[in-house]
Structure 1
Amino acid sequence: MATEPISYVTLQEQRCVLNWFQNWTSAQKERFLHDLLGKAVPGKVCTLLESLSSLQLPNIFECQLRLWTQWFESWGEEERNHFLHMLEEQDPVFVAHFYRGVAGTAGRD
């Protein structure tokens, strides 16, 4: 099956998120990990976003997460996989944590 090419707009959105990711603190990356897991396996992961929302995080980070959510929801499966591949090139340890989190949801309803 041939894969559809990533649109220019989607590619720019993904590059933007990856640029933000480089500048996030480890606490912000941890929050992003939980958000990414919640998007990848909805309904299977108890996200920590509610408890984390009490933390004092910079407003810019909150805005970045909102944009990330809008963009992610508009991407198709191939585009989402492409993003994960680019993220893995940038931070393989982070993506390994993500895949362990996804694997941990196997068999859950």
Structure 2
Amino acid sequence: MGPKIAPVAIEGISYITAQELRCVLSWFHGWGATQRQRFLEDLVSKAVPGKLCALLGELSLLQVQDKAPSIFECQLRLWNQWFESWSEDERNTFVRLLEESEPTFVAQFYQEIANTAGKD
């Protein structure tokens, strides 16, 4: 079980956004390695939109499925909706909170962003 996420207010963040941040962090702590890798790819594609490597990864997700989405897929859909509505400061707060509990993951995130430099 991952670390507890305190129910205190996050400075400069609305109550609703703070709840969304905590929710995604809670999901993250329950995800396995494969799900975290998929989330990392999604996070990188949001951090460096328009890069070819990120776009190719997104194209592979556009598959028609005959079955109901998994809980993880539903979580990612909510994550995407919420992320789109967050301000840049709120997005940075999310990464900062994630880094506090998962510094290795966030270090990998920054490395993946650095790997996109110079690629179109």
**Shorter-chain TM-score: which interval?**
0.7 to 0.9
1:67-106 correspondence runs (5 A): 67-106=78-117
- Which of 1 and 2 has greater Rg? 2
Q: Report the counterpart of residue 42 of structure 1 in structure 2.
A: 49
**Cα RMSD (Å) of the superposition?**
1.9
* Number of equivalent positions: 103
- 1 or 2 for the larger relative contact order (CA 8 Å, sep ≥6)? 1
SS at match of 1:61: helix
Indicate if the aligned counterparts of 2:98 and 2:106 stay in contact, CA closer than 8 A: yes
Q: TM-score, normalised by structure 1?
A: 0.85
**Structure 2 alignment gaps of length 5 or more:** 1-10, 64-68
Q: TM-score, normalised by structure 2?
A: 0.78
Counterpart Cα distance in 2 of 1:98 and 1:63? 22
Between the two proteins, what is the percent identity of the paired residues? 62
**Structure 1 alignment gaps of length 5 or more:** none
Counterpart Cα distance in 1 of 2:51 and 2:80? 18
* Deviates most, 77-86 or 99-108: 99-108
Residue deviations 1:42-77, cap 9 Å, x none? Answer: 0115243454778xxx70000000000000000011
